[in-house]
Amino acid sequence: MKKLLALCALTLASTCMSANALEVTIDNKTKATVVMAFSYLDSKTNDWVVDGWYNVEPEQKALVNLDSKNDIYYLYSEFSNGKKLEGGKGSVVLKVKNRNFFYKQTKPTDDLDRKATFLRARSNNGKSLIKIN
């Protein structure tokens, strides 16, 4: 799984990111580790892609830069305490696996283990804040 550094460690790196980056800040205020997968419109290929996993440790913040100019994206989360963040109006069902993965929505790979319901989210001018309480 992809390890994320604390938001403060990524501040300098984020200034060097492409203008196409969709910046998602994750503020995990829980006592559980959260792992997140995203689906977004890739700027390079103009395809919807599915990308996971990103870890956020308990009571930490993390910054995820997704290569997208689109303000609409989808996310799915699992917590070390067994809870999930999923579904809702406008959600999509996509395949995931227990290890890192990246694929085009139109061409899922054969090694994907299971289906997950990704909830629809929107950024504001390329920035998004997800607060997990």
The residue ranges of DSSP E strands in the chain, in sequence order, are 21-28, 34-41, 48-56, 60-67, 72-79, 84-85, 92-96, 101-104, 114-122, 127-132
pLDDT score of 60: 98
Token representation of residue 108: 């899922």
pLDDT score of 14: 38
pLDDT score of 16: 39
Residue ranges and CATH numbers for the domains of the chain are 7-132 (2.60.40)
pTM of the predicted structure, to 2 decimals: 0.84
Divide the 133 residues of the chain into consecutive groups of 10 and give the mean pLDDT of each group: 34 43 97 98 96 98 97 97 94 96 94 96 96 94
Closest CA to 95 of 83, 84, 85, 107: 107
pLDDT score of 19: 60
pLDDT score of 13: 37
Percent of the chain with pLDDT over 90: 84
pLDDT score of 50: 98
Beta carbons of 57 and 85 less than 8 angstroms apart: no
Q: 29-63: buried (b, 16+ CB within 10 Å) or exposed (e) per residue?
A: eeebbbbbbbbbbbbeeeebbbbbbbbbeeebbbb
Predicted confidence (pLDDT) per residue in 40-66, tens digit? 999 999 999 999 999 999 999 999 999
| In the chain, alpha helices (H) | 7-14
What is the C-alpha R_g of the chain? 14
